[in-house]
């Protein structure tokens, strides 16, 4: 059983990521916000990856939790000079806009390969939402006059599955840490609440995106012929090493005035100090990320698969740091006793 087709449709990739399959909801904002965060399948019993019940639940979740906000009517708040500088100096805007531009194209390309109507519909909607994220960021950049390097041309990926895996795993990793940074920024009060509230639906949408990806991955593995699994898992490992390399690098580009822009690929992990004027303890930040990750997923059917890689890495890092601190504290005590003796 396979959800990939041999012949592509005539519809262009831009058609996929720029057109929603149905009309936006007329529900109230409160209803939309609640339904975007809470969903359960009416199907009784387990939702085992690879079954029709699981596949339909995955697609239904993504369609029925859609939030119809419109970037064109977002009321961007006026900022005082200090807050404006804090926002415009974040080393993320070029990468953020370009990442969404790549994501919409990669997801549209993968959706275009698919034959299964449920999976195709879900990933097509995901591509549309990535395009909306790009529009949100583009309007923010324009409103606050953030200098940007010219966007590179967005090219259709040659290896569609690889590109989709890179985007999916990257979003799983980045979203986990972004949840914590977003909560940190809200608590610190360095950014106006109007701006926080503007981006809240986008953050929850990222939660839905990685929930879809985690369940697609589980479904894709379950229906894949066993003889293809070793090669696929090797590709997954390759994607993870590629993302590790990417996260360790900085990207430099130049705007129309010839000014260099240094962008941090790993800002979601290293950017905590930009969100608050207080010192941020690593363990406390990781614990905050874990709590926020659990909170954002808590409203969705627990039978759906959750992304596990970033939370597992965070828990392992917490244990390692606590052990190191305990060991270092013990050594310092022994050294102090030796000096006093």
Q: Is residue 331 part of a domain?
A: no
What is the extent of the structural domain holding 33? 13-307
Q: Is residue 53 part of a domain?
A: yes
pLDDT by residue (tens digit) across 169-204? 999 999 999 999 889 888 877 778 888 888 899 999
What pLDDT score does 334 carry?
59
The total of structural domains in the chain comes to 1
C-alpha distances in angstroms, 108 versus 124, 139, 156, 273? 6, 22, 9, 35
What pLDDT score does 7 carry?
45
Q: How far apart are CA 183 and CA 215, in angstroms?
A: 26
Q: Is residue 336 part of a domain?
A: no
Walk along the chain (341 residues) and give the pLDDT tens digit of each residue: 455 544 444 567 777 778 766 655 556 677 888 999 999 999 999 999 999 999 999 999 999 999 888 887 788 889 889 888 888 887 778 888 888 999 999 999 999 999 999 999 999 999 999 999 999 999 999 999 988 888 888 899 999 999 999 999 999 999 999 999 889 888 877 778 888 888 899 999 999 999 999 999 999 999 999 999 999 999 999 999 999 888 776 444 433 444 444 444 444 445 555 555 667 788 998 999 999 999 999 999 999 999 999 999 999 999 999 999 988 876 666 566 666 65
| 153 burial level (CB within 10 Å; 0-12, 13-18, 19+) | exposed
What pLDDT score does 143 carry?
92
Q: Is residue 329 part of a domain?
A: no
Q: Is residue 318 part of a domain?
A: no
Residue 269's domain is classified under what CATH number?
A: 1.10.620
Q: Is residue 327 part of a domain?
A: no
Q: Is residue 312 part of a domain?
A: no
Q: Is residue 324 part of a domain?
A: no
pLDDT by residue (tens digit) across 266-292? 444 455 555 556 677 889 989 999 999
């Amino acid at each position: 059983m396979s959800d990939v087709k041999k012949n592509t449709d005539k519809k262009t990739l831009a058609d996929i990521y720029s057109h929603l399959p149905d009309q936006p909801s007329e529900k109230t904002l409160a209803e939309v916000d609640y339904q975007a965060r809470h969903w359960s399948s009416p199907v009784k019993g387990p939702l085992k990856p690879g079954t029709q019940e699981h596949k339909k639940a995955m697609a239904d979740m993504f369609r029925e939790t859609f939030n119809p906000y419109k970037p064109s009517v977002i009321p961007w708040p006026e900022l005082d000079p200090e807050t404006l500088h804090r926002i415009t100096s974040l080393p993320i805007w070029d990468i953020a806009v370009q990442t969404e531009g790549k994501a919409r194209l990669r997801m549209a390309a993968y959706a275009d390969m698919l034959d299964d109507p449920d999976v195709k519909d879900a990933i097509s909607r995901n591509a549309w939402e990535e395009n909306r994220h790009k529009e949100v960021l583009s309007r923010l950049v324009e409103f606050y006059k953030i200098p940007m390097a010219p966007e590179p041309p967005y090219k259709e990926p040659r290896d569609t599955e690889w590109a989709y895996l890179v985007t999916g795993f990257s979003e799983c990793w980045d979203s986990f840490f972004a949840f914590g940074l977003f909560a940190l920024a809200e608590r610190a009060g360095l950014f106006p609440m109007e701006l926080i509230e503007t981006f809240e639906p986008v953050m929850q949408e990222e939660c839905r995106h990685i929930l879809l990806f985690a369940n697609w991955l589980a479904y894709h593995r379950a229906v894949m012929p066993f003889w293809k699994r070793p090669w696929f898992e090797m590709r997954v490992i390759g994607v993870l090493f590629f993302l590790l390399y990417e996260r360790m690098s900085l990207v430099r580009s130049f705007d129309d005035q010839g000014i260099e822009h240094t962008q941090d690929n790993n800002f979601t992990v290293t950017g905590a100090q930009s969100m608050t004027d207080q010192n941020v303890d690593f363990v406390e930040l990781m614990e905050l990320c874990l709590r926020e990750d659990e909170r954002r997923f808590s409203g969705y059917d627990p039978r759906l698969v959750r992304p596990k890689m970033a939370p597992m890495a965070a828990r392992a890092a917490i244990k390692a740091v606590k052990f190191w601190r305990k060991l270092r504290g013990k050594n310092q005590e022994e050294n102090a006793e030796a000096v006093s003796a």
